[in-house]
Amino acid sequence: MSEEKPKGGAMKMVLIMLVVLLVMGGAGFMTYKYLFGDNVTAKTKPVTAEELAERSFTTDDMTTNIQDERFINVQFTIVTDAVETKESLELRKFQVHNVILGDLAGMTKAQLTTKEDMQKFEQSLREQLNGLLEEGEVQRVYMTKKIIQ
């Protein structure tokens, strides 16, 4: 009687080893790019003051009551990714004001005092304003005026 050799056993092992090597190589490459890869922000061209001004929208002065029976006078500068986005936001000025005033109505003086709370509020506004836009993006919201009485 003759001994039967396993068919494709060696071929399966070679394929498995090849797949393992490819996965390990890909993981190694991704780790290298993550740890030592090019820093994307280092290659981006800094934005000039003129470009920033062209893409920025400043709200009107707004005065409203806040939750703890005080009132606040605020103004915001909203930086967008493009002039077209800024123009779209200007056309939606009433919606922008509505979002801001609605959020402020539920806040207290204590929630508008610290730098961290202000940054959270600005981030929340940014996310809400992005929800209004069909195209483009609000990159940053700055509170440029705040008077609480």
Domain-by-domain residue ranges, the chain? Answer: 9-41, 49-148
pLDDT tens-digit map of 82-108: 999 999 999 999 999 999 999 999 999
Q: Is the dihedral of CA 126, 129, 133, 138 positive or negative?
A: negative
pLDDT tens-digit map of 46-74: 888 999 999 999 999 999 999 988 999 99
pTM equals 0.67
- Residues 6 or more apart whose Cβ sits within 8 Å of residue 85: 55, 133, 135, 136, 137, 138
**Contact (Cβ atoms closer than 8 angstroms) between residue 84 and residue 121:** no
CA distances from 101 to 57, 69, 105 (A): 17, 15, 6
Q: What is the CATH number of domain 49-148?
A: 3.30.479.30
pLDDT tens-digit map of 10-52: 888 888 999 999 989 888 888 888 787 655 544 567 888 999 9
Smallest CA-to-CA distance from 63 within 19, 25, 101, 10 is with: 101
Strand partners, 148: 72
**Contact (Cβ atoms closer than 8 angstroms) between residue 145 and residue 61:** yes
